[in-house]
Structure formats: structure tokens, C-alpha cells
A = this chain, B = another copy of it.
Amino acid sequence: MPIVQIHLIEGRTAEQKRALVRKVTDAVCNSVSCPPEAVHIILSDMKRENYAEAGIPYNDKK
């Protein structure tokens, strides 16, 4: 029943997402002793103008 939500800057490939959910599921199961079927993961893609640190949108950085 662990429910995981991960906010990421958009642009990850389907292959990266596939690796991400597999590895995070393993990490959760190994740490809190639950079967993989119990782990639910939501990935949320953020546009670069929709994430900010220190008051500055990500697409204004650098």
C-alpha cells in the first residue's frame, strides 16, 4: 500500500520512466518489507516554467 508520487521536470523518456518505477519499487520493498504488488507510483511531469527554486522558474535558470 505504499503510494509514491514523483514530480519530475518533463523530458524523461519512456525508458527512463520504466527504469525509475522498477528501481523505486525495489527500493521501497527492500526498505519496508512489502510485496511489489503493493507499491503504486504516480509520475508527474512538470513543465520547466512550473517548477521554481529560490523564487526563480526552472526555465529562467542558468
Q: What are the 6 closest A-B residue pairs judged by CB atoms, nearest first?
A: A25-B55, A23-B27, A21-B52, A20-B31, A43-B50, A36-B54
Using a CB–CB cutoff of 8 Å, the interface residues on chain A facing chain B are: 1-9, 12, 14, 16-28, 30-32, 36-37, 39-47, 49-60
Task: Give the residues in chain B near A3, CB-CB below 8 Å.
Answer: 3, 6-7, 40, 42
User: A24–B17 Cα gap in the complex (Å)?
Assistant: 14
Closest residue of chain B to A30 (Cβ to Cβ) is B23
Task: Give the residues in chain B near A59, CB-CB below 8 Å.
Answer: 14
Would you give the shortest CB distance from A50 to chain B, in whole angstroms? 4
User: A22–B36 Cα gap in the complex (Å)?
Assistant: 18
